[in-house]
Amino acid sequence: DAALERAVRRGCAGGLACVDLYGWAASVEEGRGNSRRAVVLYKKAYEADRARDDVLEHLAGLASLAGMTAEAVDAYGKLAERHPENPAWAARLSELRARAQADRFPR
C-alpha cells in the first residue's frame, strides 16, 4: 500500500510513463476491489494520453459498474463523439443517462 501510494504521489514525466504508472496503480486497486480509487487512477492515465481509447473504455465500464454514473457518462460520451461509426458507445451513453434520470426521479 505504501509503495503504491508513494509511486502515485511521486508522479511521472508525462505521456506513456504516466499511462503506465497510473494504469498499473489502477489495475492493482481494481484487483483489490477498490473500484472508485481505480476509476480515479484510470482517469489520470487517460488524461496523460487522451488518444488511449482502451483506457477510456475500461474507465467507462468500471465507472458504470461502480455506480459512478457521471464518470461513466463522461467517458462513454467521449467514446461516442470520437467514434460515431460505433453505435454501441451512443447506446451505452443513452442507457446510462436513462438510468441516471430514473435514479433521480423514481416512480
The pLDDT of residue 73? 94
User: What does the chain look like in DSSP terms, one character per residue?
Assistant: -HHHHHHHHH--SSTHHHHHHHHHHHHHHHHTT-HHHHHHHHHHHHHH-TT-HHHHHHHHHHHHHTT-HHHHHHHHHHHHHH-TT-HHHHHHHHHHHHHHHHHHS--
For the segment 15-29, the average pLDDT, to the nearest whole number, is 93
The pLDDT of residue 102? 80
pLDDT tens-digit readout, 59-77: 999 999 999 999 999 999 9
The pLDDT of residue 11? 79
